[in-house]
Chains A and B, each alone.
Chain A
Amino acid sequence: MPRGKSKPAVRGGRARPVEDLGSRALEGEDLTTKRWEDARHWISIYADLLEFKRGILARVRRDVANLQPPAQKAAAMDLKIIETQMHGYQERLDLWYRRIWELQGLWIDPVGRVVRHQAREVSLTKREFQLLQFLLDHPHRFFTTTQILGQAWADPALFPEEVRNYVRRLRQILVDLAIPADLVNKPGRGYSLIFRSN
């Protein structure tokens, strides 16, 4: 058992029920569901919607740059709306990730740096734990090695090779604990923890 007080794998260790957190839900969405398949379903929907918005945003940004200044100002409204909606989708995705980790039985102990998943547990080093916690707190977002050095470890002086080393170690931990998530690397975007959908 973990040495310290265990917590569900939630952002910043705050164990606030996800249904209390308010972003706008889509029709049929119920954060109180007890079925992890539902959580997986909504993660997939929000991930798709975010990708869709990214595509539209890229298109609008490119086109707006070619407009005359007064038109650019008028079209800026489109950009603001898309960005606001993306922010809302990201919030819902975060909530669903938290929910799926709750339903999956993923627990983390920040004091003892222990991670437990479905009766298996492992102790992590400080940096392993910080990286895992950071990726769990920011699901489905990609971070470059520089961002990880600065944001997960707050130590930009470390070498990028350190990130690759710790990514390898975390991947092994995911396997050892049978956590259904992949630490993926996309060229040009960086690393992200993605829940496995099958």
Chain B
Amino acid sequence: MKKVQAPSGRPDVVAAVRGGDWSQPMDGEGIPGDATLKHALYWRKIYTEILAMEEKVLARIRQLMDTQSAEGRHEVELTNVPVVVAQAERFRQRLGYWDARVEQLNGNSHHKP
């Protein structure tokens, strides 16, 4: 998957996009390869929920952008959108790891979110 590029000159966005690094787990998450089925199911649920939230936020941003001036839309495109997209990509990738772990442990592929 292509990494999100942060606009130069916007340290807030650069930091946020860097925070979207998908090698970065949440607190207490552990390594998928070492996880039990219960643990893997738990983290799959967590990532499913947070990814759904980010996608809803992104949809809301796009909806609200329609009401902005050209300058406002440009600013939102430059700041909000890459931040949320980076976060969503990170969560999607982490969800993929946990999906794979669940499948590996019990072949539960029919239960993909």
Contact = CB atoms under 8 A, between A and B. Distances in A.
Contacts of B47: 71
A148 B84 CA distance: 36
Contacts, number: 87
A52 B60 contact: no
B57 A26 contact: no
B28 interface: yes
A55 B64 contact: yes
A48 B26 contact: no
B93 interface: no
A28 B50 contact: no
B86 to A, nearest CB: 10
B64 A27 contact: no
Interface in A51-83: 52, 55-56, 59-60, 63-64, 66-68, 70-71, 73-75, 77-78, 81-82
B52 to A, nearest CB: 9
A85 B79 contact: yes
Binding site secondary structure of chain B: helix
Given A52-B64, A68-B45, A70-B46, A45 B28 contact: no
Interface residues of B, number: 36
A63 B57 CA distance: 9
A59 B72 CA distance: 19
A24 interface: yes
Contacts of B100: none
Interface string B33-61: 00000000000011101100110110011
Given A55-B64, A56-B60, A85-B12, A48 B72 contact: yes
Given A59-B57, A75-B54, 17 more contacts: A26-B71, A26-B74, A48-B67, A49-B75, A49-B76, A56-B57, A56-B64, A66-B53, A67-B49, A67-B50, A70-B29, A71-B53, A77-B19, A78-B87, A81-B16, A82-B80, A85-B12
- Nearest 3 pairs between A and B by C-beta? A71-B50, A63-B53, A70-B26
Interface of B: 9-10, 12, 16, 19, 26-29, 45-47, 49-50, 53-54, 56-57, 60-61, 64-65, 67-69, 71-72, 74-76, 79-80, 83-84, 87, 91
Interface of A: 24, 26-28, 44-45, 48-49, 52, 55-56, 59-60, 63-64, 66-68, 70-71, 73-75, 77-78, 81-82, 84-85, 88
